Amino acid sequence: MNDLFENLPFQPANILLPRDCDLSLWSVVACDQYTSRPEYWQRVEERVGRAPSALRLILPESCLEGPSVETDIMEINSNMSRYLREGRFQEYPDALIYVERTLSNGGVRRGLVGMVDLEQYDYEPGSKAAVRATEGTVMARIPPRVAVRKNAPIELPHAMLLADCNDIIPPLSSQTEEMELLYDFDLMEEGGHLKGWLLTREQKERTAQAIGAWQEWADRERDGLLFVVGDGNHSLAAAKECYERRKGLTAPEQWPELPSRYALCELVHFYDGSVEMEPIHRVVFGAKPEELLDALMEYYPSAIQGKGEGHTISFVVNRWSQGALTVQKPPARLPVDTLQRFLDDYIAAHPRARIDYIHGEEEARQLAGEREDAVAFLLPPPDWTELFNAIVRDGVLPRKTFSIGQAQDKRFYLEARKIRK
């Protein structure tokens, strides 16, 4: 552990980067994207071909419930071990990497790749941890991710933490000439461009001081909340579960040295103009649209057709047929919570129906238009100016409330870290 970062929740890591390969083929989008678009992953498969790629080290979420998932996980772990044996990675010890991601809209998202101390992260509502989840965690989604991680020799991160401090990441954007450029390449499938620089010791020292000062302020003024999870909470929750299992087999004095105690992630500046908080829409498959909408009206007797006072929920039955209904005197603070309460009960009573959570309104419209048994519910963009205060006040937001940008702007896998000795 770097002494400068002792007791801080975000620290430098021994970061692995791929070498001697085409990074545009190595780097692929987060595994929880395009779950209802198998053709996307098929295009990626065809594009990568036989080239070394992170595609061989991840399991797309659309495959988590597939018939061969156990075999798929074993193959992924085998590929990880083989890549390590073949020397596919170059290790950068005790590293922090400043990254600039040019997004599909031309904006630049700035972040810092390091590792989060899972002892200081908690996804439980009402937690007082320094790093907290922003949304409710779906407990059923943790075991499949634990299955992927528990025997893996390395991890590849797509989690992003959000920092609302102007003294941690923004100063680095004007200091890149002092750093070593590690990578600079275009991402596939309209993912934009990615550049990364290795921080110097002096820059790491200033970063540690900035995080420490912000932690002191957070302890004093904000119930100890330092960072929140902007993306990848279920992956971090799975990492936490794996660490807790390892703790049970390890003497307490050895816990700080466990590789599983930490998880690689990117710390992103919340007030960066490119960080756009988008609503996550719901598409219900396997239901007759008219019956589904009638059930929603029956679930909330105060609901009316069209827009009005209360929580207005827009829907799309096919690409061009759309409407809205309003739940008057809603039971929840946010429209997403009002809708989700109904959907949870509806799915429980209709096993053939299922929900997919879609990043991007146009994508949701397309999915609803492709099937006669689908309805897309389109949610409004929430006001995120009070995000951190809302987490302190309310604990967590409803699950799948927001997304950082569109699907193609999600984090792409590039860096890795060993998580087993």
Choice between 137 and 352, residue whose per-residue pLDDT is larger:
352
Which pLDDT does position 271 carry in this prediction? Answer: 87
Which pLDDT does position 359 carry in this prediction? Answer: 81
The DSSP element (H or E) to which 289 belongs, if any, is helix 289-299
Q: Which of 235, 226, 22 has its CA nearest to residue 141?
A: 235
| Domain covering 279-404 assigned CATH 3.30.1760.10 in the classification | yes
Contact 408, 190 (CB under 8 A): yes
DSSP 212-261: HHHHHHHHHHSTT--EEEEE-HHHHHHHHHHHHHHHTTS-GGGGGG-GGG
Q: Confidence class of residue 320 from pLDDT cuts 50, 70 and 90?
A: low
- Cα 44 to the chain's mean position, in Å? 20
Reported pTM: 0.86
Which pLDDT does position 278 carry in this prediction? Answer: 83
Structure tokens at 135: 């949304």
Q: Confidence class of residue 400 from pLDDT cuts 50, 70 and 90?
A: confident
Which pLDDT does position 319 carry in this prediction? Answer: 64
- Which sequence spans correspond to the domains of the chain? 3-276+406-418, 279-404
Instruction: Give the strand pairing for 108-117 and 262-269.
Output: antiparallel
Which pLDDT does position 290 carry in this prediction? Answer: 93
Choice between 271 and 304, residue whose per-residue pLDDT is larger:
304
pLDDT greater than 80 at residue 385: no
CA distance 74 to 83: 14
pLDDT digits (tens, 9 = 90+) for 166-200: 999 999 999 999 999 999 999 999 999 999 999 99
Which pLDDT does position 23 carry in this prediction? Answer: 98
Question: What mean pLDDT is predicted for residues 254-274?
Answer: 92
Q: Average pLDDT over the chain, rounded to whole? A: 92
Which pLDDT does position 144 carry in this prediction? Answer: 83
What residue spans of 38-107 are helical by DSSP H? 38-48, 69-85
Sorted by sequence, the CB contacts under 8 Å of residue 267 that are 6+ apart come out as: 10, 111, 112, 113, 114, 160, 161, 162, 163, 168, 169, 227
Structure tokens at 258: 């466990």
Question: What mean pLDDT is predicted for residues 51-55?
Answer: 97
Q: Confidence class of residue 1 from pLDDT cuts 50, 70 and 90?
A: low
Contact 198, 180 (CB under 8 A): yes
DSSP 135: B
pLDDT greater than 90 at residue 243: yes
User: What are φ and ψ of residue 46, in 5° steps?
Assistant: -65, -35
Question: What mean pLDDT is predicted for residues 126-132?
Answer: 93
Choice between 144 and 24, residue whose per-residue pLDDT is larger:
24
Alpha carbon of 78 to those of 67, 83, 418: distances in Å? 19, 9, 14
Question: What mean pLDDT is predicted for residues 284-307?
Answer: 95
Question: What mean pLDDT is predicted for residues 62-88?
Answer: 90
